[in-house]
Structure 1
Amino acid sequence: MLKQAALIALLGVSASAMAGGWQVKVGGSTIAPTQDTTVAGVGVVKAESELAFTPSVEYFFGDSPISAELLLAAPVNHDVSINGENAVKIKHLPPTLTVKYNFKNSTRFTPYIGVGGTAFIAWDEETKGALSGASVKVKEDYGFAGQVGFNFQPADAKNWGVFVDARYAQLSPEVRVENTPIKFDLDIDPMVYTIGYSYKF
């Protein structure tokens, strides 16, 4: 309940602003899970690393160093293995909202840090290998997110720049194999490493 409340509060913060500037960011990301799960009678269950297209929209609150960024990643196809063998493919969306502090300075580098909330919205689970023919359901999950990175604006650039950042997402969606007693939380907790272009209006 606390996770959902935090996410709703952050959405309210970004929607309440009346004046400021917008920035669109287009990048490519590596989504690298940092955890795996040992399930009794099943073995080691692990979400594998994936590549994703990750556009985002950022809003700057006037002249302050505060901004809010909403990650709008394209649907991600995530492979899940059991004891090293691919068993489930999950298509999901990972919308993530962070409130950021931008360290403005006299250089063209602008470092930033952010905290916020994230979601794991799954659908269209497909089984194969050890689970071929079984029906697997993955529930939505919500968690906290952290972000650190920088934006660089070249000398000849008026509105555009390049950025690099890393995000951490706390996610452990519930997985259930129907018509069996198998049910567990899949610990993913991914790091998301992104590089891309930014354009500020």
Structure 2
Amino acid sequence: MFKQLALVALLGVSASAIAGPWQVKLGGSVLAPTSDTKLGEATVKAEHEFNFTPSVEYFFGESNFSAELLLAAPFNQNATIDGARLDGKFKHLPPTLTAKYNFNNSSRFTPYVGIGATAFIPWDESGLIHKVKEDFGFAGQVGVNFQPADAKNWGVFVDVRYADLNPEITLADENRTKFKLDVNPIVYTLGYSYRF
């Protein structure tokens, strides 16, 4: 009888009480470059890219602070020169770590802001792109998580990130031309969150 009562009590515990410090987020993102680069008289610009971007977040006790690590499937990055697509591309990963403050309140919306650092890890250069160097920079983030009334540990979120990234590119021309590709992307993400 005692075991049955204990089981009923456990099943009656609210989701907020049993929710742990970890949260996983599965999102779809648009990487939108905000800058372009002058190469002589030509203008080089990274193209918009779309991707699947999971992340893992850890909440520090009962405080409003958390840390989030953004991961991603590899981006296949293209660029244009004066509007024409460059004959070459490369892949890259953008791991980003942000320290966040979550504005907890009585509503089902939890806004948040974050600041941190990001990395640009390229590989698999092809065509006219001979070499792309790693880069590191500042990252910022704002967003909101929404928990529907019938939800337990899950929710939906939308956020916007900015990354200060300017990787050096070497072209496969006879002069091995080098330049900094000013990407400085804004990343728009919509997705699903689950806390456990």
Category of TM-score, reference length = shorter chain: 0.7 to 0.9
In 2, Cα distance between equivalents of 1:177 and 1:48? 17
What is the identity, as a one-letter code, of the residue corresponding to 1:139?
A: K
In structure 2, runs of 5+ residues without a counterpart are: 1-19
Whether 2:177 is the aligned partner of 1:182: answer: yes
* 1:29-80 deviation per Cα after TM superposition (whole angstroms, max 9, x unaligned): 0000000001116x11110001010000000001100000000111000111
In structure 1, runs of 5+ residues without a counterpart are: 1-19
**1:44 maps to which residue?**
43
**1:191 maps to which residue?**
186
**1:126 maps to which residue?**
126
* Secondary structure at 2:124 match in 1: strand
* 1:117-166 deviation per Cα after TM superposition (whole angstroms, max 9, x unaligned): 00110000122xxx4xxx51000000000000000000110100000000
**1:85 maps to which residue?**
84
In 1, Cα distance between equivalents of 2:93 and 2:79? 16
**Size of the alignment, in residue pairs?**
175
In 1, Cα distance between equivalents of 2:182 and 2:130? 16
Alignment of 1:152-167 (within 5 A): 152-167=146-161
With the length of structure 1 as denominator, give the TM-score of the two structures: 0.84
Q: RMSD between aligned alpha carbons?
A: 1.2
Alignment of 1:99-114 (within 5 A): 99-114=99-114
- The alpha carbon displacement at 1:81 in A equals 1.2
In 1, Cα distance between equivalents of 2:166 and 2:37? 10
* Secondary structure at 2:175 match in 1: coil
With the length of structure 2 as denominator, give the TM-score of the two structures: 0.86
What is the identity, as a one-letter code, of the residue corresponding to 1:61?
A: F
Identity %: 67
Alignment of 1:66-85 (within 5 A): 66-85=65-84
Larger radius of gyration: 2
In 2, Cα distance between equivalents of 1:117 and 1:196? 22
What is the identity, as a one-letter code, of the residue corresponding to 1:154?
A: P
